[in-house]
Structure 1
Amino acid sequence: MADDKHSPDLSCEINEEDLVAKYRKKLPQVTQNIIESYNEQRFGSHVDFEPIPSRESVIEIIDKFFEVLYPGYFNSDKLDPVNLNFHIGQIVTRLYSMLADQIISTIRHDCDRYNLTCQECNEQGYDIALRVLKEIPNIRKLLATDVQAAFDGDPAAKSYDEIIFSYPGIYAITVYRVAHVLYENDVPLLPRIMTEHAHSKTGIDIHPGAKINERFAIDHGTGIVIGETTTIGKNVRIYQGVTLGALSLPKDAGEQLRGRKRHPNIEDDVIIYSGTTILGGDTTIGARSVIGGNVWLTESVPPDTQVIMEKPQLLYKNDKYKSTEEELFDEG
């Protein structure tokens, strides 16, 4: 007599083709329900004859900007004085074409999405792309001061090359400075896509609308937030975890506060240490002030002021101390 434990389970012998067909025949209805949800709620879908901006193309544009802004650092081909004109000419031509295409897509996207009057999308796209590329020498001048400020303030930095190649702060500032030019030219979507890409890579969130002067240094950088209407003067240094944000927002804040000054002003030569939060459009940190770590500010600080937290009282516990938390705090 055969051992029942080793007998095959006939219930498992189901035809695989029949099983697949049984479930696949349900897919047309599932697909139709998904498509109907697009019609019921336009939010979160973009089904149109007009092209939507491409995030992948925007990231490629950022990479091309780095090749032009820091020649020789991020190029796939070696640059030398003989081939410089040829290679940069190729990159600038490619960059212009890609940038114009994406600007045209974003302007056309807004025209269609919000039923705007004709914006002459193609003409605007080509014109703005050219204006942005014309700003590259000025952007490079600003970035040179940012790299110098990073080097001057960080004894761990061994060279400018190290800063350009590896510092997340310089990456985020570079993307911001390009995105800010697009923002100032009223290009929708692209500036924010750019700075949010930098945010995802570095943990540094700089809104393209912020106004940031020369010699801006970010040390370490993770967790920094700089809001849209922030203004930052010359030679400002901020550390990880700093927030330059808005005060608590009321219901429907988007409509009430859009376009209004919501974020602080940081004057020249200010240092803001890690973990500090500074909020409010009327809040100004005066020139040459130093704001210590973990400070919370919602009101202005005069020039030449130091703001620091009181030294906290620390409690140490080992086998010689009382064992419960309650007994520890009795001493305090």
Structure 2
Amino acid sequence: MSTHHLIPSSFNLSQVVGELRRSREETHKIRHLGRVRELPSREALEEILADLFASLFPTHYGRADLTDESIDYFVGNVLSVALNKLSEQIRRGLYFSSNGNLEGEHRFDALAEKLTSQFAAQLPAIRALIVSDIRAAMSGDPAATSVSEILLCYPGVNAAIHYRIAHALYQLGAPLLARFISEIAHSRTGVDIHPGAQIGEGFFIDHGTGVVIGQTAILGKNIRLYQAVTLGAKRFPEDDEGNLIKGAERHPILEDDVVIYAGATVLGRITIGARSTIGGNVWLTKSVPPDSNISQAQTLGH
């Protein structure tokens, strides 16, 4: 058995490496603030999420053999590990949400620890919201047979759990980490919820795949969405120089008890009134009053 060893010099590596350096440092420089920084780690965040899920629902995402005597010890242990890792990831993320002001860089360790402590204090409230989402799934889907089935088998609920965690971090001032978590959820479930969106209790996505919810969307209580629903922007406002205005309110507002069926696209800063139903494949860019029932035929008729 013979092996062939390629001679590195045949690749002109020194020239390629030099040209890549010039691209990084001069001609195509995109490095944040012009400095090398350690990025948050997707692998670490996935480990953190696994431990956070286990701390919120120990027997479903942690260990099935836990007892009344051991469960608190288990939760305390996984939370301690998760929060220590989270503090480090928040510290890394702070470099990318500092708006160019690194004068307080030496305080990032303390700030990360403070934000992590504030996040930990919110975990009971986060769990309460997730339980309301689970109950919404139980009451909203006739195929659901148990809480365990919902927690283990429903991608929409899995995406909602990721969102609740990400949204808390987003509000606390860790937007890059929050966005990272939303993308992990997106890759796992096919559901893309920006962590900046505001979503009330009792949120349920049935089937899940293809749902998109934009950054400035506001969803009230007891919202039910089906697969491939988009809550997006109709247009992107620009400033006087033609640059996109970041963070402008451009996504829909859904009042309480709205149901939107599969494939519907709702665009722009419009309001869907309470208790309204939006039918499948509807394209909607105008507000509708409470108790509306919008079908595809109605929108095609305008």
Shift of 1:57: 1.0
* Deviation readout 1:289-323 (Å, 9 max, x if unpaired): 11101111111100011001229xxxxxxxxxxxx
Structure 1 residues 193 and 254, CA, compared in 2 at 3 Å: closer, same or farther? farther
Structure 1 residues 181 and 226, CA, compared in 2 at 3 Å: closer, same or farther? same
* Deviation readout 1:116-156 (Å, 9 max, x if unpaired): 43152111100110111111111111111100111111111
Report the equivalent of 1:88.
75
Q: Name the stretch that deviates more: 264-273 or 71-80.
A: 71-80
Structure 1 residues 242 and 49, CA, compared in 2 at 3 Å: closer, same or farther? closer
Report the equivalent of 2:255.
267
Q: Please give the TM-score of this superposition, normalised by the length of structure 1.
A: 0.82
Long gaps (5+) in structure 1: 1-14, 312-332
Whole-Å separation in 2 of the counterparts to 1:55 and 1:177: 18
SS at match of 1:165: helix
Report the equivalent of 2:231.
244
The two structures, once aligned, show a CA RMSD in angstroms of 2.4
Report the equivalent of 1:117.
103
Whole-Å separation in 2 of the counterparts to 1:306 and 1:64: 42
Q: AA paired with 1:178?
A: I
Shift of 1:48: 5.0
Report if aligned partners of 1:209, 1:229 keep a CA contact under 8 Å in 2. Answer: yes
Report if aligned partners of 2:48, 2:82 keep a CA contact under 8 Å in 1. Answer: yes
Are 1:177 and 2:164 counterparts?
Answer: yes
Whole-Å separation in 1 of the counterparts to 2:244 and 2:76: 46
* Deviation readout 1:263-314 (Å, 9 max, x if unpaired): 0100011100011111112x00000111101111111100011001229xxx
Matching of residues 154-193 of structure 1 within 5 Å? 154-193=141-180
The structure that has the greater radius of gyration is: 1
Q: AA paired with 1:145?
A: S
Structure 1 residues 39 and 284, CA, compared in 2 at 3 Å: closer, same or farther? same
Structure 1 residues 255 and 179, CA, compared in 2 at 3 Å: closer, same or farther? farther
Whole-Å separation in 2 of the counterparts to 1:223 and 1:25: 43
Structure 1 residues 107 and 22, CA, compared in 2 at 3 Å: closer, same or farther? closer
Report the equivalent of 2:126.
139
* Deviation readout 1:68-122 (Å, 9 max, x if unpaired): 11111111573211211221111111111011111111113444x8244315211
Task: Give the total of aligned pairs.
Answer: 293
Report the equivalent of 2:275.
288
Shift of 1:28: 2.0
Q: Please give the TM-score of this superposition, normalised by the length of structure 2.
A: 0.90
Are 1:74 and 2:61 counterparts?
Answer: yes
Report the equivalent of 1:277.
265
Report the equivalent of 2:197.
210
Structure 1 residues 186 and 45, CA, compared in 2 at 3 Å: closer, same or farther? closer
Q: AA paired with 1:239?
A: Y
Long gaps (5+) in structure 2: none
SS at match of 1:96: helix
Correspondent of 2:20 among 34, 44, 66: 34
Shift of 1:251: 6.2
Structure 1 residues 280 and 62, CA, compared in 2 at 3 Å: closer, same or farther? same
Q: AA paired with 2:74?
A: H
Q: AA paired with 2:18?
A: Q
SS at match of 2:60: coil
Report if aligned partners of 2:236, 2:250 keep a CA contact under 8 Å in 1. Answer: no
Q: AA paired with 1:118?
A: G
SS at match of 1:73: helix
SS at match of 2:114: helix
Sequence identity, in percent? 42
Correspondent of 2:40 among 53, 61, 69: 53
